[in-house]
Structure 1
Amino acid sequence: MNRLIIIGNGFDLAHGLKTSYHDFILYYLKDNIIKAFNEGVKKSYNQPYRSLYHHRHDMLEVSISVEYDIYQSIELISKTSKIKDFVELTDKRGISFNYIFKILEIGVHKFSKYNWVDFEIEYFKELASIKTKGGYDIDKNIEELNVHFDNFKALLESYLKAQQGLLKTTFDRKLLCDCFCEDILDIDVDLETIASQPPKRLLFLNFNYTNILEPYVKECRKRIHSDINYIHGSVNDENNPPIFGFGDEFNKKYKEFEDEGNNELFKHIKSFGYLKTNNYSDLTRFLEIDKFQVQIYGHSCGLSDRTMFKEIFEHVNCLSVKLFYHLKEDGSDDYTDKTYELYRHFSDKNSMRKKIVDKQKSRAMPQPIQTISNV
């Protein structure tokens, strides 16, 4: 048997990278306030009093009044670490936002519940809404939405590349590598009778765009044949650009797109991004060559990747799905929430119950241990 190891954003976060949806949005909002301030200072001699500080980006427009000490306001805002505190402080300090990209506004107000998958789903909802409403300007509205989404993707790629460059810490990789390379246990497989055995081969299916996983794969290669598949692209490889969009072809509204003559509807559908590289075909070949167990680390398993996940989890060769859940500081964990998400990817619920390893046989993902800081 082989092992497919799914790696999500929680893996990068565990290594100290600020790559969550929350991190990026907070950075973007702060950055635009600073730009509004800098541009306002330069143009202050011809600006009305109330709109002295003003900046317009492709997705957001920022205006700052001068009722408060602006220097002090900027300093206070720059120190906020939560979007909730940021929003409250900017409201008090006379800073207003006009969201040109409306999905961004929704994401700011739902920040406490949002992950990247939720933003992708929100994009699809807006796309479907425009199509449903129709009207003479439907093509224009779809194209405009996609332009904003392109701008968002470009900013995200630049941000992730910068965050990756800021990480100067090394980690002890043994605990995680021990999990990656551990035996496939007979008690973890209900669909067939097997003897506990080490996996013959590992494939790391990396949904992250950074290279933080690379040292782990190199370490695992010393024990087991191991490969890495940057299924959603990488910020480090121009031949494998990041894929960001919607990936649930089983969605009822998505099926309606196929009857439309507007190709803009498919511009940010992941399946078409997969066709630009051999990553997806490499994954398919791995699924076909032998029976396999799936391990999941730091991935939400949300609906935005349902097309791929259904193919993996419902594959006849998939015998076991093992969650390495996130254990929170308060002692709670996300094991049950993850099973809710996995449930949505299975048409055969009986198969799901047999494949997912129960919590008593699962465990929390080991947290990386810092060894040396090069800062």
Structure 2
Amino acid sequence: MNRLVLIGNGFDLSHKLKTSYNDFLFYYLKKILNDFFSNLSYEGKLIELHSKSSINGFPKMETLDDLINVLNILKHKRDSNLYIKYKSQFFQEIINSFQHNKWVDLENHYFSYLLKMSNASSNLVDDLSKLNQEFEHLKIELENYLREVVISDNPIQNPAKFDFLLEDIPDDQLIDSKPFYPTSIENIHVLNFNYTPTFNVYAQHLNTKKNTTINFIHGELNNPDNPIIFGFGDEHNDEYKKFENKKENQLFEHIKSFKYLRTSNYQDLIRFIDGNEFQVCIMGHSCGLSDRTMLKEIFEHKNCKSILIHYHKWGSDTHENDYVNKTYEISRHFTDKGMMRKKVVSFEKSKPL
């Protein structure tokens, strides 16, 4: 049997890397405001700020809340010498979303905004073009942030830390297995949804003991042959299906399924799951709807015999972890909920990341 390992952003976060969308938004806004307070002017793709008079001192800008408070103060300040304008309603709604929820998911927010626009816009072609340019701008800024700030960090790594991925699968973690007969692992395929190379050192170590491949399914930093994929991937959404009837190709510009066709990564995944029975190990992936097309294909595959969650644990109490929430997310990728309950390994047999 094989093992398919899903690596998500939680894996990088567990290595103390600042790779969340909140981290990126903090970096992006702080760069804008530092530029403005230093030069009394900033004009970018998404926002514009100008001041005709000098500003005494920099305000407190230590958290994302601080930065957004500064923007709000500037926006509502009654000063004829001060000018601030959001050039992107999409970006302004991202800021508003963080204020209400204290977190933001750029990919999900893009798709929600796209749905709203497709149903309400009176000038769909131009509005789509503007939205897609703005989202592309954020993608480039995110890639620059990860390359310049995050990837320069080198977390201390023990190459043998994830050797448990080499271990046999107990019979009680598999459907249709014979009692008391653990199943050995033949091949490991690491499906890396991150752009960062954090797992590389572990994959190289695992490969010395068992055939291990790593698949940067969403692209890889500093690799022009495997460009970054940033967008949404839920073709099963009822609203998404309406896109095809609108006959406007710009609706699909940042839909992941079409980006996968640029490389052979998706085909490599399909060959792996078609080739033999496998267990899925989830390590730091949210299993959210932005990857639903791919996850549904994996989880519902006839060769998928087990889904093992390596959950995030933040306290000593039994409930202080995200195991249950992760099962909620996984269930959204199953049409047959009974099959989901058979495949997902119970909490008592799961382990924290």
Q: Is the 8 A contact 1:107 1:114 kept in 2?
A: no
Aligned counterpart in structure 2 of residue 126 of structure 1, from 90, 97, 113: 113
The answer to whether the Cα contact below 8 Å between 1:25 and 1:108 also exists between their aligned partners in 2 is no
Q: Partner residue of 1:102?
A: 89
The answer on whether the counterparts of 1:181 and 1:224 sit within 8 Å (CA) in structure 2 is yes
Cα distance in 2 for partners of 1:64, 1:228 equals 50
1:113 CA displacement: 5.3
Could you give the per-residue CA deviations for residues 231-265 of structure 1, whole angstroms, max 9, x where no partner exists?
A: 00011210100000010000111111111221111
Matched, 1:185 2:170: yes
Is 2:321 the partner of 1:336? no
- What does residue 29 of structure 1 align with? 29
* Cα-to-partner distance string for 1:148-174 (whole Å, 9 max, x where unaligned): 011111111111111344213431232
Match of 2:67 in 1: 86
Percent identity, please: 39
- Equivalent residues of 1:210, 1:236 under 8 A apart: no
Superposed CA RMSD in Å reads 2.1
Q: Are positions 1:61 and 2:44 aligned together?
A: no
Matched, 1:155 2:150: no
Give, in whole Å, the separation in 2 of the partners of 1:284 and 1:326: 28
Structure 1: which 5+ runs fail to align? 41-53, 366-375
Residues 96, 122 of structure 1: alpha-carbon distance in 2 compared, 3 angstrom cutoff: farther
SS across alignment from 2:225: coil
**For 2:209 and 2:253, how far apart are their aligned partners in 1?**
41
Contact 1:186 1:193 in 2 (8 A): yes
Amino acid at match of 2:173: D
Q: What SS does structure 2 have at the residue aligned with 1:170?
A: coil
**Structure 2: runs of 5+ lacking an equivalent:** none
TM alignment of 1:1-375, pairs within 5 A: 1-40=1-40, 54-63=41-50, 69-70=56-57, 72-73=58-59, 76-77=60-61, 80=62, 82-88=63-69, 91=72, 98-111=85-98, 112=101, 114=103, 118-135=105-122, 137-175=123-161, 177-193=162-178, 195-329=181-315, 331=317, 332-365=320-353
Shift of 1:104: 2.8
Mapped to 1, the partners of 2:50 and 2:30 lie a distance apart of 13
Write the letter of the residue equivalent to 1:187. Answer: D
* Cα distance, 1:182 vs structure 2: 2.2
CA–CA separation in structure 2 for the residues paired with 1:131 and 1:356? 37
- Quickly say closer, same or farther: Cα 1:96–1:234, change in 2 above 3 A: farther
Is the 8 Å Cα contact of residues 7 and 207 (structure 1) preserved in structure 2? Answer: yes
User: In the aligned structure 2, how far is the partner of 1:322 from the partner of 1:107?
Assistant: 33
Tell whether the 8 Å contact from 2:90 to 2:131 is kept in structure 1 after alignment. no
Query: Per the alignment, do residues 241 and 8 of structure 1 end up closer, same or farther by CA in structure 2, a change over 3 Å counting?
Result: same
Q: Name whichever of 321-330 and 142-151 sits farther off.
A: 321-330
**How does the TM-score come out when normalised to structure 2?**
0.91
Instruction: Return the offset for 1:190.
Output: 2.8
On the 8 A contact 2:37/2:55 being kept in 1, the answer is no
Equivalent residues of 1:192, 1:319 under 8 A apart: no
CA distance, structure 1, for counterparts of residue 316 and residue 46 of structure 2 = 37
The CA distance in 2 between the partners of 1:98 and 1:182, in whole Å, is: 57
Q: Deviations over 1:132-189 (max 9, x none)?
A: 1242x211001110010111111111111113442134312323x2232222111111
Say whether the 8 Å CA contact 1:32–1:62 is kept in structure 2. Answer: no
Partner of 1:369: none
Instruction: Please give the per-residue CA displacement for 1:205-254, whole angstroms capped at 9, x wherever unaligned.
Output: 00000111110000101111000000000112101000000100001111
- Are the structure 2 counterparts of residues 240 and 190 from structure 1 closer, same or farther at C-alpha, using a change threshold of 3 Å? same
The Cα of 1:66 is off from its aligned counterpart by 6.5
1:31 positional shift: 0.4
Q: Call closer, same or farther: CA 1:128–1:291 in 2, change over 3 Å.
A: same
Q: From the superposition, tell whether residues 183 and 168 of structure 1 become closer, same or farther in structure 2 (CA, over 3 Å).
A: same
